[in-house]
Chain A
Amino acid sequence: MSTLVFTLKNPPEFTLDVSPLTPDKLGGLSSAQIRKLRLRYGKQEIPVDRLFSIAGANPEKIRINGSCDKLTGIGHGMKSGTIEVHGHAGDFVGQYMRGGHISIRGDAGAWTGSSMSNGRIDIYGDAGDYLGAGLPGDIHGMSDGLIFVSGNAGDRVGDRMRRGIIVIQGNAGNYCGSRMAAGTIIVLNRAGKHSGYGMKRGTIILAKKPRHIIPTFRSCGNLKMQFLRLLFKQLSEMGSQFEIFRKYGPEAHRFSGDLASNGKGEILILQTIRTGV
């Protein structure tokens, strides 16, 4: 069966909640039923075929063409299958995701991968604030899975994150890894201010030395870390976009903190530092 393709006829004026369009929720529905599914559009509910033209029949593989940042909740709670988005995506991509693969060929909004518990999200563009974070009311943020961002990410990446891996090829905003409980965040360019603020455990890996480290982190010195060998080798085998990790070695300057919190987190700076910071 061919990929189920939703093509946006016109850019929506209001926020359009496309969370019902996931492989799990569409599985077993006929084409006619899919066309008549109702989506929240601003204050009203409208059938899918009013805004999308639909082609193909395989709900395990969904493609959204001509997407824009008004489309929210892409892949909400999905458990399996793939969603490929051509264009930008709005907020809450992959929120509460439990499996499967979302690929965005454009930018994604805030709260991407928030509270997801498994699966993989690839963003070939920028991501907004609160990437992989926990929504207010949730105990934790992302609790497993993998998020890859080829561009930059906003503030509060991985806020209250519990497990899983976030890889950002560009820059990360302020408060990267704030209040982390565990998990791994990798930033291959610069991170903003206050990385690791309030983190209890977890790992923030920064390929470049940040402008400053908050004073409640203590230097553990330059080290060769066996964990980095393992992490980089495993990541480099997870797709062509991760081949970059082949060039990184196990050397890192380790800072532990946040001592104002549990203090068992770490910031690993791959650009080793000659003198203590």
Chain B
Amino acid sequence: MKINGVTIDDTFAEAFPMKATRIIITAMTLKWAYRAANSIRGFASSVIACGCEADIECELDPSRTPDGRPGISVMLFAMSTRDLEREVPMRVGQSVMTTATTACYAGIHGSERISLGKNLRYFGDGHQISKTINGRRFWRIPVMHGEFVCEETTGVTRAIGGGNFLVLAKTARHALTACEKAVEEIQKVPDVITAFPGGIVGSGSKVGSKYKFLTASTNEAFCPTLKGQVKSELTDEIGSVLEIVIDGLNEAVIMEAMRAGILAACAYGPGKGIYRISAGNFGGNLGKYHFHLQDILK
């Protein structure tokens, strides 16, 4: 299969069940909401070592936020509800509460819930105030900028992590240009995030390693410098490979995001150094969800 002269490999992306939550961060200005959102999504590229995967989902105008201020929607994914319960309150406490003028609210309202302000309230040292409005419980924690308002809990939902595709290009510059555009298109799809820095993975991994203490190591089959040295997936003209990993709330949104991203990358074509699109998988034995590239692009 070829799109705009770019070869689409007959392969699939292998993804895993995860748990996800969404939080809404508001602040006096969008700039300061971004400061908090960027802080909470820091060091959250992969569950391999970060505890969770997180990214900004979208900006929210004041009419769409609980308190009528500009806001940012952030989604956080982890392998279990327990992992989210550990990561989310800690990140909200250190990244959101510490950012000037912010407030933090639940963005998913399911029955399964994890703490948000439930334990952060103790920072108020006895001066915290609980308020229930329209069935939702909030904590008012007196802080030096005024009041940090935080919803008590946020909902958790089933999700999928690890939808992906690889962009095989002539040089790193060509790959990066196409991937930047692909991420831009993916960000228009609701309910998905691309948690790696800038949405792009520069060092895609395989499961396991020759070293027993490592659970993941470099994906040598796609490393251009090892083309003649290992069993490589790369042909001579490929000089750089970048990966885009997508986490989403269901299969449909991941497929939509993959399709949007691949088409955006393919639009550059071989003339601009984009030769092939492939995907990362583990032989189909590890992940519950298989996203076949050619099916998605039909």
- Residues of A with Cβ closer than 8 Å to B? 144, 146, 163-165, 182, 184, 201, 203, 223-227, 229-235, 238, 264, 266
Contacts and interface: CB of A to CB of B under 8 A. Distances in A.
Nearest to B62: A233
A155 B72 CA distance: 44
5 contacts: A201-B129, A226-B103, A226-B146, A226-B149, A233-B66
A165 B67 CA distance: 17
Q: Is the interface of A mostly helix, strand, loop or mixed?
A: mixed
Contact of A223 (B68, B133, B140, B146): B146
Interface in B65-79: 65-69
Interface in B47-89: 65-69
B251 interface: no
A240 to B, nearest CB: 16
Contacts of A182: 130
Given A223-B146, A264-B127, A229 B69 contact: yes
B66 to A, nearest CB: 6
Nearest to B149: A226
Contact of B68 (A165, A225, A233, A264): A233
B222 interface: no
Given A182-B130, A226-B140, A233-B67, 15 more contacts: A163-B132, A165-B133, A226-B67, A227-B131, A227-B138, A227-B149, A229-B67, A230-B66, A230-B103, A233-B68, A234-B133, A234-B134, A235-B133, A264-B127, A266-B129
Nearest to A224: B146
Nearest to A238: B134
A182 to B, nearest CB: 7
B9 interface: no
A235 B133 CA distance: 8
Contacts of A184: 131
A230 B138 contact: yes
Contacts of A227: 129, 131, 138, 140, 147, 149
A231 B133 contact: yes
Contact of B146 (A144, A225, A234, A264): A225
Interface residues of B, number: 20
Interface in B147-202: 147-149
Nearest to B132: A163
A230 B146 contact: no
Contacts of B68: 229, 232-233
Contacts of B134: 146, 234, 238
A198 to B, nearest CB: 18
A227 B69 CA distance: 12
Contacts of A146: 134
A216 B148 CA distance: 27
A230 B132 contact: no
Contacts of B67: 226, 229-230, 233
Name the 10 nearest CB pairs between A and B, nearest first: A233-B68, A230-B67, A229-B67, A226-B147, A234-B133, A226-B149, A227-B140, A233-B67, A163-B132, A234-B134
Nearest to B101: A226
Contacts of A229: 67-69
A194 B115 CA distance: 38
Contacts of A234: 66, 133-134, 136
B26 to A, nearest CB: 9
Contacts of B131: 184, 203, 227, 231
Contacts of B130: 182
Nearest to B102: A226
Interface centre among B66, B67, B149 (most CB of A within 10 A): B67
Interface string B113-149: 0000000000000010111111010101000001111
A164 B137 CA distance: 11
B147 A225 contact: yes
Nearest to A144: B132
A261 to B, nearest CB: 15
A230 B149 contact: yes
Contacts of A201: 129
Nearest to B66: A230
B71 to A, nearest CB: 12
A226 B145 CA distance: 10
A238 B138 CA distance: 17
